[in-house]
Amino acid sequence: MKYRGSCHCGQIAFELEGEIPTVLSCNCSICQRKGALMWFVPRPALTLLTPPENMRSYTFNKHVIQHHFCPNCGIHPFGEGVAPNGDAMAAINVRCLEEVDIAALTIQHFNGREM
């Protein structure tokens, strides 16, 4: 299935194709505050439809994940990092995808506070 996503104001827009098997709800200090439900995909699956200059990024702790957000509306639509095997990954906030039934998703809880 093809998905389109964005921040609230549309300054960051993207699309990707795939099936959402499960999403991750993390309780680390940033994910808990954002309330994000993350779907991890290979980075090449994500196509940015707006200029990357429209985004700002935030890193913390080990500085290995770039948490992208919109400087205009403040929404965090996705992040980027590297999987344990070295592949580039994107963590999509499924709450920013159009036409996704959040209630129908399988949510896996992850204890990010222990990392």
Domains of the chain: 2-114 (2.170.150.70)
- Look at residue 49 and give its three-state secondary structure: coil
pLDDT of 115 above 80: no
Q: How far apart are CA 31 and CA 80, in angstroms?
A: 14
Q: When comparing pLDDT for 115 and 64, which is higher?
A: 64
pLDDT of 114 above 80: no
Q: Tell me the pTM.
A: 0.93
What is the per-residue DSSP string for 57-88?
EE--TTS--EEEE-TTT----EEEEE-TTS-E
Which string of b and e fits 54-81 if b means at least 16 CB within 10 Å?
A: bbeeeeeeeeebbbbbbeeeebbbbbbb
What are 74-107's pLDDT values in tens digits? 999 999 999 999 999 999 999 999 999 999 999 9
Nearest CA-CA partner of 24 in 110, 113, 114 = 110
What are 9-61's pLDDT values in tens digits? 999 999 999 999 999 999 988 889 999 999 999 999 999 999 999 999 998 88
